[in-house]
Amino acid sequence: MATEIVPKPHNAKQPAILRMSDGDSLIRRVGDLFDTLNRRAYELFETRGRQNGSDLEDWFHAESELLVPTPVEINDADGELIVRADLPGFREKDIEVRVEPHQLIITGKREHVHDQQERKTIYCDRKSDEVFRSVRLPDEVDPNKVKATLKDGTLEVELPKVHPSRKVPVSTRAA
């Protein structure tokens, strides 16, 4: 099965919302990302003179260079979960939101514009241009009814619950 794209309004500017499926290219993308991180961590290892003992530090350094940190906030609101993720500098076309009943995956890649002037770059924080964030959801959601919007660098994903909890009134009995 291939990834299925959930239709969105004709004139809306929204990130692509995709339902996960068995033949999804996400597995390939995650493998490619892992390989890229692994190569960069190895480059850092070589830069340090191939000294053992800092493998995890090299891996985290590679992640910080290659992936944009993506803080998220999950709120529970009347029959739905609302997830907000900070994605500054990303546009709707750069982002994909993938949904399973208990999982939300946010991926994105933006074009990195290099300054073409003849200068030697000493340090650059602008290199991070890819995001990958997986969020385990506390409740089962309906992947067919998900809505996602991006405004001012914040992605908001509305995930309707399959079985919203109902409040049960508590009464007191007179003794």
The CATH code of the domain that includes 58 is: 2.60.40.790
Residue 72 is predicted with a pLDDT of 92
Maximum alpha-carbon separation in the chain:
87
Structural domains of the chain, count: 1
State how far the Cα of 143 lies from the Cα of 103, in Å rounded to an integer.
10
**Which stretches of the chain drop beneath a pLDDT of 70?**
1-26, 112-128, 165-169, 171, 174-175
State how far the Cα of 165 lies from the Cα of 76, in Å rounded to an integer.
11
Contact partners, residue 104, CB within 8 Å, separation at least 6: 83, 97, 98, 134, 135, 137, 157, 159
What residues make up the domain containing 19? 14-112+123-160
Place of tokens 């004139």: 11
pTM exceeds 0.75 for this model: no
